[in-house]
Amino acid sequence: MKKILVIQLLLFLLSACEKTALTDGSESVARPVVEAYLQPGQNPALKITRQIPFGSSDTVALPVKNLSVVIESGDFAYSLAFSGDTIYVGDGSWQPEAGKTYLLKFTYEGSEVTAETLVPEKPSGFTASASSIEIPSFDIGSGGGFPTFPDPIELSWQAVPNAYYLVVVENIESDPEAIFDIPDGDDRPRPTFRSEPEQANSYEIGFQNFQYYGTHRVILYRLNAEYAALYDDNGNSSQNLTTPFTNVIGGLGIFTGMNADTLMVEVKE
């Protein structure tokens, strides 16, 4: 579940890598775009697509199929197999481990593509000031007066120098009840909100951040600097085209490690 969430979280960021090509000719379409987030306890998977050249009418990046993709760590080399829909996955015999460095390698159109990342340790000391929060009633027409606002939930953890942290909060109810009426035809996405990657040791969640009642999963991700750099690069526009951040040598995109800890918060009436 966490892996899927993270891929959705950065899909819009990596579209910049797939759509931005600042050179003409074959160089502008010769690079693969990599998207991979290694997490302990998760079967490794990565996405490889072809770069969409600038000015192209294409809107969907095409997959790069049947490459020989290898991830190395120390004396071991692990192969990933193409499983369809741009995704290469491990065979289930191994999982990334915290504290280890991993090297991605494959050959694309005769050129070697590589990327390296460290899988960080799990965030330490992750706590919340409360395990639940009540949504105040705004029905002042019944003579009840103005509502009393609850204190925000303070999340805190032990920050590590040079590490980045991101908080993701998602409602996990199968049929969540909206706090406020949702207009007809408002097909909003799954109830989730998130912070930005920061070098911080705390984050506040107020009642106004929540859109639904029920149980929420609060995930604290510890991230590497390359993740934060890609996030910052999302400011590119047609008036400000710059080469997107990448830590992939011979290609574009992101190959990074992350780790997470989780708490639960109940949103009540």
- Clarify whether residues 26 and 49 are in a common domain: yes
Single-letter residue type at 228:
A
Q: How far is CA 75 from the centre of its chain?
A: 29
What is d(CA 149, CA 191) in angstroms, rounded to the nearest whole number?
A: 22
pLDDT for res 141 = 54
- Clarify whether residues 131 and 175 are in a common domain: yes
What is d(CA 56, CA 263) in angstroms, rounded to the nearest whole number?
A: 44
Range of the domain at 203: 124-222+262-268
pLDDT for res 190 = 53
Place of tokens 């490459």: 67
- Clarify whether residues 76 and 153 are in a common domain: no
- Clarify whether residues 7 and 116 are in a common domain: yes
Q: Which residues contact 259 (CB under 8 A, 6 or more apart)?
A: 39, 40, 98, 119, 120, 121, 122, 123, 221, 222
- Clarify whether residues 6 and 117 are in a common domain: yes
Number of domains in the chain: 2
pLDDT for res 234 = 56
What is d(CA 119, CA 61) in angstroms, rounded to the nearest whole number?
A: 28
pLDDT for res 185 = 58
pLDDT for res 259 = 98
What is d(CA 33, CA 63) in angstroms, rounded to the nearest whole number?
A: 9
Instruction: Please list the ranges in the chain whose pLDDT falls under 70.
Output: 1-30, 52-60, 138-146, 182-191, 233-243
Task: Please answer whether residues 88 and 46 qualify as being in contact, where contact means their C-beta atoms are separated by less than 8 angstroms.
Answer: yes
- Clarify whether residues 152 and 43 are in a common domain: no
pLDDT for res 156 = 98
Q: In terms of Cα–Cα distance, which of 189, 179, 202, 195 is closest to 269? A: 179
Backbone angles phi, psi at 168, to 5 degrees: -120, 130
pLDDT for res 232 = 74
- Clarify whether residues 131 and 47 are in a common domain: no
- Clarify whether residues 133 and 200 are in a common domain: yes
- Clarify whether residues 13 and 115 are in a common domain: yes
pLDDT for res 15 = 46
- Clarify whether residues 144 and 100 are in a common domain: no
Residue 161, domain CATH: 2.60.40
158 to each of 170, 193, 220, 227, how far by Cα in Å?
23, 22, 11, 20
- Clarify whether residues 111 and 46 are in a common domain: yes
Single-letter residue type at 243:
T
- Clarify whether residues 168 and 213 are in a common domain: yes
What's the pLDDT tens digit per position in 82-108?
Answer: 998 889 999 999 999 999 999 999 999
Show the CA angle centred on residue 136, arms to residues 178 and 264, nearest 5°. 60
